[in-house]
Amino acid sequence: MKHVRTFMTAIRRLTGARTRQGTVTYGAIVLAGLVAGSAQGQTRKTTVDSQITAPEKRTFLHQEVEFNASPQRIYEILLDSRQFSAFTGLPAEISAEAGGTFSMFGGRIVGRNVELVPNQRIVQAWREAIWERGVYSLVKFELKEQGSKTMVVLDHTGFSEGDFGHLNPGWKSRYWDPLQKFLAAGTDH
């Protein structure tokens, strides 16, 4: 029972869940991914232990990026299929509803929206299509208003050891840089 409480406390802290129901929902998604990976002989370890420094061992990443746009604008772009496709240059189908599914980058990334707090937070059960079925990581975007700009705080957890090496730079090359260019071009929605 102590392990369950520790797990739920870690999920609550990681996701910012404010209610027991929210924590249980996140916990169930993460636990399902862990069990599915484990059942297929592959252990997926979720950790927030910042003492792991070797990139090949990291199962989490944290990034902060400032955009010259409002939190509302960033939120809309990340959850709108047409705008997401426009800034990435690849097809996307994104439900803007909690519990809704998404397929991005021409089907290379798929998942489900776990929590949506308009203009503040997006939490997704997120996976690369090449991962084994049922194996998901957790992606959380926190949108923090800073005057006329927005600081996007990304926490991506629960991916396999060895994936950090391509996921960490992938966020910059697939999300942040193209989104900065999209916003600088003044592309309207």
CATH number for the domain spanning 70: value is 3.30.530.20
Q: Quick: pLDDT tens for 21-34.
A: 655 555 555 554 44
Q: Is residue 144 part of a domain?
A: yes
Burial of 168 (0-12, 13-18, 19+ CB in 10 A): middle
Q: Quick: pLDDT tens for 56-69.
A: 899 999 999 999 99
- pLDDT value for 32: 47
DSSP 132: P
Q: Is residue 11 part of a domain?
A: no
Q: Is residue 21 part of a domain?
A: no
Q: Is residue 29 part of a domain?
A: no
Grouping H, G, I as helix, E, B as strand and the rest as coil, residue 142 is strand
Domain count, the chain: 1
- pLDDT value for 78: 98
Q: Is residue 14 part of a domain?
A: no
Q: Is residue 9 part of a domain?
A: no
Question: How far is residue 53 CA from its own chain's centroid?
Answer: 21
- What is the pTM (predicted TM-score) of this model? 0.73
Q: Is residue 177 part of a domain?
A: yes
Q: Is residue 24 part of a domain?
A: no
Distance CA 31, CA 34 (A): 5
Mean pLDDT, to the nearest integer, of 129-139?
96
Range of the domain at 176: 49-184
